[in-house]
Structure 1
């Protein structure tokens, strides 16, 4: 067999492999979206189309902001119905996450996303909500409060990102893709099959040492993370975080509103000592509480504790 023939065969195999990966990714995304179609409402905010849920009727409003690679169903799984008994509860898919879209070439750091959240509050006419931010949603909630202190009345931060990270958690290293084109290429080829193959490992780190809820894939929105858009969005968000955090930290001293933090003592994603204790050292009025033996996904694993801290912040904010 000649060298030309071998080269042609290899090139053909490579093309067929890529076509197969794209086909598999597209089929998987369609199946996921059939299993978990959007069930909330949509609204246009600053070039983004935001998917959100609005539950309950009460004088005090809560706005729930999910974390990296997440979606609104992380809250609707166990937290929203409990809170909607006493509050109006609005939970959004952040720009690019879940069924929300992000404007082309839009900035994705916590500061930019905070501007979308602030605009979302204004467009919906929410009356100074308590922001409930989980993980990356915590940093975004802090950024809203720093830039728009009159828009919010308190912060309930659940396993939040609050300070610059020395490095990204190991489980997120695959998301560290700087080029938007390469990010999209990975999302539409190997990201989905790899996420399926590594699902158990990923979930063990993200939820551990607690068990993953048996219904997380459907009721908790876990399947939505298997779509190419989820990889692209999570990678975009993660790569944008480091540039924003130092300037955000410099403005923390201006925060006067009630802030409470809840952390699991065995969080495998974010260090409670850094993002809890060291953050409180900057703002002594912050109330910090722990769930012994718990991991990172507190809204799904210990919803009662999350509800309790949200109620506590709302009571102080009154």
Structure 2
């Protein structure tokens, strides 16, 4: 039997896991109660947050059962946090009620039987207490079940003297939250938001995840919060059209210029609107009184981060994770329209991709290097915005915050920017490595350089594109195709390829003037055809993308190691 200060139901969920982390950081012993099969997910997340889990006990539960399927496994509980919920649109009404209503009542009644109970904190939606008990399951079982539960829990707690506090977060923004606002941002990013549902005064409030976790964990320490409900939102959230403009400016995409009434959007085909009808019920002009929440926050010493910074960071996460379809690359986001991944001020390596790839193409090499790296999507390609700057000026801006003297690595088209910077600032570059420098290799075919190629490739499946382009199937080609399918990216990619083909002689001349050490890596299936006096490493059995097929060998060259100890058929070194 585990003796514990606090128990968190729904501990593997988006808010629940943050409550567990905050409680552990505050020195509490914590029981994480979650569904079977979620234990590893929680522990992996906590490890990733560097949380000391010495005070953690993990147990399985089923809040659909009156005894929560806990038996006598937990004792001494002082504070009970219920973050368990089915948060999803399109739920069956009975399924939604079983968890969001019946399950919530079961947790409350179980808590009431704990002899050391100090507080029950129930986490629900910001619109629940404001709805006045109106449950319309026809308009959405998720919200209706939360609203019904809010009124029932407060009535039971009042009748039985249970110390209950309701926490009502609005749209909680933080890593891993792909619900509600995330779909609007994703549609904006994908060019699928010609008009914004709602009106000029639609208000969709947001709040920072860390603020929410610290507030909720602090509630039981405030005796006068019993029996109260606390809306958790940043009152400085702009109206929805302005909020989307803030995000659009950060992403360097066009914001919608018009709004459409939600009643009209409901009547349009979903294939046109890309909007879940149930989500439209959250688009209203209602405002919420946060004065009592603000008092508690000041007592707890917490405050909201600037809302524009919160929105920018959240939008970066939506782009990095492709709205929850992939695991986001850590430390990735926009700076002045350029997509950056990794260490922005003290990298040992700066990595510039080729066509039709993006910074994802360096992932395997980065793991092999195990050193600080900075990768960027080239301007107008991948996720980066179009830039009016020259290639050299763009590199100046990219490197402006860098304090180290890194190795600069350019693959194919990326060699252009690498060479430009090495010519301008040889004192700021330790070495240049060019991988498959296209200006010294066989020119791309006329068909490959035609505008039609852009349209053909972006419509391919991952498997077909990988086979046609000679790129290993996996996250790299999937990321590249996702970028190519955004408006304008494919056209800009092939325009860059055509422009590069026209400047082969110019770049070869510039390379001859580079004074820093230069190494060249090519695949045996894509050799150099132009002479060079720079050292060349040829990797056998690969073509234009050796960093994808042989990241270990590429990483060794980047570190300055000899490949003479490699298998004889793997690589050869020399000059051409």
TM-score (norm 2): 0.38
Find the aligned partners of 1:67 and 1:246 in 2 and give their Cα distance: 18
Aligned: 1:232 with 2:491: yes
Unaligned runs of at least 5 residues, structure 1? 1-21, 178-186
Shift of 1:42: 1.9
Structure showing greater Rg: 2
Indicate if the aligned counterparts of 2:439 and 2:505 stay in contact, CA closer than 8 A.
Answer: no
Residues 154/246 of structure 1: CA separation in 2 closer, same or farther (3 Å cut): same
* Mapping for residues 28-67 of structure 1, pairs under 5 Å: 33-34=322-323, 35=325, 40-44=332-336, 49-55=337-343, 61-67=348-354
Find the aligned partners of 2:435 and 2:342 in 1 and give their Cα distance: 20
Which of these residues, 470, 473, 477, is aligned with residue 213 of structure 1? Answer: 473
Instruction: Give the equivalent residue in structure 2 for 1:118.
Output: 396
Instruction: Give the equivalent residue in structure 1 for 2:508.
Output: 249
Indicate if the aligned counterparts of 1:38 and 1:99 stay in contact, CA closer than 8 A.
Answer: no
C-alpha distance after superposition, 1:208-232 (max 9, x if no partner): 6xxx2344444x5443333333202
Find the aligned partners of 1:161 and 1:265 in 2 and give their Cα distance: 14
Which of these residues, 376, 384, 408, is aligned with residue 131 of structure 1? Answer: 408
Aligned: 1:90 with 2:374: yes
Instruction: Give the equivalent residue in structure 2 for 1:6.
Output: none
Residues 245/296 of structure 1: CA separation in 2 closer, same or farther (3 Å cut): closer
Aligned: 1:290 with 2:538: yes
Residues 155/175 of structure 1: CA separation in 2 closer, same or farther (3 Å cut): farther
Indicate if the aligned counterparts of 2:350 and 2:409 stay in contact, CA closer than 8 A.
Answer: yes
Indicate if the aligned counterparts of 2:412 and 2:435 stay in contact, CA closer than 8 A.
Answer: yes
Structure with a larger share of its residues in helix: 1
Aligned: 1:195 with 2:458: yes
Q: Report how many aligned residue pairs link the two structures.
A: 246
C-alpha distance after superposition, 1:214-251 (max 9, x if no partner): 44444x54433333332022023123224443333333
Question: Which secondary structure does the structure 1 equivalent of 2:378 belong to?
Answer: coil
Greater shift after overlay, 197-206 or 233-242?
197-206
Indicate if the aligned counterparts of 2:355 and 2:493 stay in contact, CA closer than 8 A.
Answer: yes
Question: Which secondary structure does the structure 1 equivalent of 2:426 belong to?
Answer: coil
Aligned: 1:172 with 2:431: no
Indicate if the aligned counterparts of 1:213 and 1:301 stay in contact, CA closer than 8 A.
Answer: no
Residues 68/289 of structure 1: CA separation in 2 closer, same or farther (3 Å cut): same
Shift of 1:300: 1.5
Find the aligned partners of 2:354 and 2:429 in 1 and give their Cα distance: 19
C-alpha distance after superposition, 1:68-102 (max 9, x if no partner): 221100112x111222x2x3200011111222101
Residues 313/101 of structure 1: CA separation in 2 closer, same or farther (3 Å cut): farther
Residues 200/42 of structure 1: CA separation in 2 closer, same or farther (3 Å cut): closer
Find the aligned partners of 1:127 and 1:80 in 2 and give their Cα distance: 17
C-alpha distance after superposition, 1:171-208 (max 9, x if no partner): 6233379xxxxxxxxx7xxx2x7632476554324226
Instruction: Give the equivalent residue in structure 2 for 1:12.
Output: none
Indicate if the aligned counterparts of 2:523 and 2:539 stay in contact, CA closer than 8 A.
Answer: yes
Instruction: Give the equivalent residue in structure 2 for 1:261.
Output: 520
Find the aligned partners of 2:442 and 2:522 in 1 and give their Cα distance: 19
Aligned: 1:142 with 2:419: yes
TM-score (norm 1): 0.65
Find the aligned partners of 1:215 and 1:158 in 2 and give their Cα distance: 20
Find the aligned partners of 2:271 and 2:511 in 1 and give their Cα distance: 46
C-alpha distance after superposition, 1:248-300 (max 9, x if no partner): 33333322211111111113xxxx132xxx342xxx2x211111121222121
Unaligned runs of at least 5 residues, structure 2? 1-193, 195-269, 275-318, 563-576
Find the aligned partners of 1:279 and 1:198 in 2 and give their Cα distance: 37
Indicate if the aligned counterparts of 2:412 and 2:436 stay in contact, CA closer than 8 A.
Answer: yes
Residues 214/26 of structure 1: CA separation in 2 closer, same or farther (3 Å cut): farther
Shift of 1:147: 3.2
Indicate if the aligned counterparts of 1:61 and 1:88 stay in contact, CA closer than 8 A.
Answer: yes
Which of these residues, 63, 66, 71, is aligned with residue 358 of structure 2? Answer: 71
Residues 38/172 of structure 1: CA separation in 2 closer, same or farther (3 Å cut): farther
Question: Which secondary structure does the structure 2 equivalent of 1:150 belong to?
Answer: helix
Find the aligned partners of 2:383 and 2:273 in 1 and give their Cα distance: 16
Q: Could you say what the CA RMSD is over the residues aligned between the two structures, in angstroms? A: 3.5
Find the aligned partners of 1:117 and 1:291 in 2 and give their Cα distance: 29
